[in-house]
Structure 1
């Protein structure tokens, strides 16, 4: 059975791989500094975002993009407000803390940063003046770590709160394609780009071998990003490999087609498992799907299709995560649904 563990198990979409092969013999300057493919990718991304004056930089992976942006938008005594499940708070091995910056998690439990919790953290952190880390940045993820999609109303509420409290906004878009192509989405790339101070566009989890693009409006980060990237070990000598991939992805809408396909497969999987009697943990309309099962079934599913045991609940049941990618086929989904339907529960 095909693995449903994550959306980066395969190599690259054929169109991306073909672009890399076709340009393999070219000689260009390095470090994403002026080669024609990287410059074309920058132009395409600016056009898609409606931000002709934004800086567009390229990182090898999501952790690199996150720590450079977060560290670059904060001073030593400032902190970033995020949900407890946020990647910078869980799966990045303290990268932000190692840069001398502080992560300030809320108590939100559904993957969405709420204005109420942001206000609580703000109030606590500012209650003792210079003796506490000052919140100066808001970090959100779209889609969320639980597959949720930020709608425009909720996104604007957080941006309005941040603006009113003198905070900048950074969006981790490791799965931005899945979010914006979701049928539940009403937030356009252009609107998000007009309000976020910086955000990433994930390629690693959407059909590329590797790579994240970072779109920057914040003038301080725009100035400092190239230096921070080099200092943090995130600058790639063969930078044109990043440019070639994003150029191919954004030239004719391939990036969005790949994300849409992953979402469609995941929603078919969700509907099939629900019809078979499985209980969703939280509603997801993207390529990640979460279901609550007993511990024995969780282990059996993990062995069969690689799905990840994501959480253990207080009653001992476990939340398993299934992830679809650009390479998932409808037949793969049907096979998994049939298998799950026959499992004793």
Structure 2
């Protein structure tokens, strides 16, 4: 069976790969600098997509690089970032933020969504002793969340309003932004995010590109420093045109008027929802609601081992009951037949 371990095991989507091959012999200035026509065009396409011509667009190698550059660029040494306890920067990035002398301030939120109430609790605690504790200066949220949740406009505006009221910047991890915004449960638009967030990025690695993320910097105070941070933090590619070519291909509308970036994500979501509904029909239960390309299920330790061996599923939590929370992920390359084979295997586990 095909693996359901993650959404970046495959290479590039056909449109992206063809663009790379077609432009392979071209020569352009390095490091994504002005004058590289592919990077210039990709930036313009992204500005059109976000609905703002006054934002800067910087290209990063991957998600950890983008998070490190984005978050540390918003903070001074004595300042920290508020996020959920399961946030990627707090769990899966090997202390990258801390290694740069910045402090992560996690809340107790358990569903992947940063709530104003929990943010207020952490903020008040750290402001209560003046200069003796780390001063909160930014909030970090992820769309989709670590457990596949989708931010609604109401939730997003609530945390943005809270941050604005406390003079905190808002950073949005968009590694799976395309999946979140094409989810049938999403009423949040990219243009609305661009109006409210200080900075965010559009993930390419997990949505059909070989690698790369596009950072969108909206806050005027951050624009001067970000290009330097990309270089300082080791995120600037000499062969920068490779990033420009990929994002140019991803955001160029096709014959139907839709850019591949959104079509590829919608396809991954559709496969994942087919999987979710099939698993529910077999009697499996989900961990938290998800309408994106990541689906999480609660299973026994025996099923955990069987699914891991069969399709590479990963374990994300061990519950007090001893049950496991495992994850299946669909990508642009997942086929409906792949999903059906997994469901047949899941059914055999129930029968056994």
Would you call these one fold, judging by a TM-score over 0.5?
A: yes
Structure 2 matches for 1:158-237, cutoff 5 A?
158-237=159-238
CA distance in 2, matches of 1:310, 1:321: 7
Of 285, 289, 292 in structure 1, the residue corresponding to residue 295 of structure 2 is 289
1:271 is aligned to 277
Partner deviation per Cα, 1:189-247 (whole Å, 9 max, x = no partner): 00011000000100000000000000001223210011111111111000000000000
2:26 is aligned to 26
The TM-score normalised by the length of structure 2 is 0.97
CA distance in 2, matches of 1:182, 1:162: 26
Q: Please give the secondary structure, in 2, of the residue aligned with 1:343.
A: helix
1:305 is aligned to 311
Conservation of the 8 A alpha-carbon contact between 1:204 and 1:211: yes
CA distance in 1, matches of 2:72, 2:135: 14
Q: Please give the secondary structure, in 2, of the residue aligned with 1:201.
A: strand
1:107 is aligned to 108
CA distance in 1, matches of 2:203, 2:11: 15
Aligned residues: 345
CA distance in 2, matches of 1:119, 1:36: 45
Deviation at 1:296, TM superposition (A): 1.1
Deviation at 1:310, TM superposition (A): 1.1
* Structure 2: runs of 5+ lacking an equivalent: 254-258
CA distance in 2, matches of 1:299, 1:3: 14
Q: Please give the secondary structure, in 2, of the residue aligned with 1:248.
A: helix
Structure 2 matches for 1:40-119, cutoff 5 A?
40-119=41-120
CA distance in 1, matches of 2:23, 2:80: 42
Deviation at 1:157, TM superposition (A): 0.2
Conservation of the 8 A alpha-carbon contact between 1:79 and 1:133: yes
2:344 is aligned to 338
Conservation of the 8 A alpha-carbon contact between 1:65 and 1:212: yes
Matched, 1:327 2:307: no
Q: Please give the secondary structure, in 1, of the residue aligned with 2:57.
A: strand
Runs of 4+ in 1 over 3 A off after TM superposition: none
CA distance in 2, matches of 1:314, 1:200: 36
Q: Please give the secondary structure, in 1, of the residue aligned with 2:52.
A: coil
Q: CA RMSD for the aligned pairs? A: 0.7
1:122 is aligned to 123
Partner deviation per Cα, 1:254-306 (whole Å, 9 max, x = no partner): 00000000000000000000000001000000000000011111111110110
Matched, 1:262 2:268: yes
* Structure 1: runs of 5+ lacking an equivalent: none
CA distance in 1, matches of 2:194, 2:146: 20
Q: Please give the secondary structure, in 2, of the residue aligned with 1:26.
A: coil
